Amino acid sequence: MSDLRADIDAELGIKRLTLENWLEVDHNSSIWARPSIVGAIPITARDWTERLLAVELDDTVPVNVRRLFAVARGTMVYGSLFYPLWAVGSERLFTTADAAVSVKYEAHGGSKTSKGRLPSYNDRLTWLRDGGLLDAAAFERWDLLRELRNAAAHPEAPDIFPPTYAMQFLVDIARQINALFA
pLDDT score, position 8: 78
Long-range contacts of 11-14 (CB under 8 A, 24+ apart): 14/82, 14/83, 14/84, 14/160
pLDDT higher than threshold 70 for residue 55: yes
Q: Tens of pLDDT along 150-177?
A: 999 988 888 888 899 999 999 999 999 9
Q: Is residue 36 part of a domain?
A: no
Residue ranges making up the domain that contains 62: 43-180
**Is pLDDT larger for residue 154 or for residue 140?**
140
> Residue 109 maps to which CATH number?
1.20.120
pLDDT higher than threshold 60 for residue 2: no
Q: Is residue 1 part of a domain?
A: no
pLDDT higher than threshold 70 for residue 4: no
Q: How many domains does the chain have?
A: 1
CA separation for the pair 139, 129 (Å, rounded): 6
pLDDT higher than threshold 80 for residue 145: yes
Q: Is residue 125 part of a domain?
A: yes
pLDDT score, position 1: 39
Q: Is residue 145 part of a domain?
A: yes
pLDDT higher than threshold 80 for residue 92: yes
Q: Is residue 7 part of a domain?
A: no
**Prediction pTM value:** 0.89
Q: For 129-140, what is the mean pLDDT?
A: 96
pLDDT score, position 58: 98
pLDDT higher than threshold 60 for residue 51: yes
Cβ 101 vs Cβ 124: under 8 Å: yes
**Is pLDDT larger for residue 76 or for residue 26?**
76
Q: For 38-65, what is the mean pLDDT?
A: 93
Indicate the average pLDDT of the chain. 91
Q: Is residue 38 part of a domain?
A: no
Q: Is residue 102 part of a domain?
A: yes
In percent, the amount of the chain with pLDDT more than 70 equals: 98
Residues 6+ apart with CB under 8 A from 99: 64, 65, 68
Q: Is residue 21 part of a domain?
A: no
pLDDT higher than threshold 90 for residue 35: no
pLDDT score, position 123: 96
CA separation for the pair 88, 46 (Å, rounded): 19
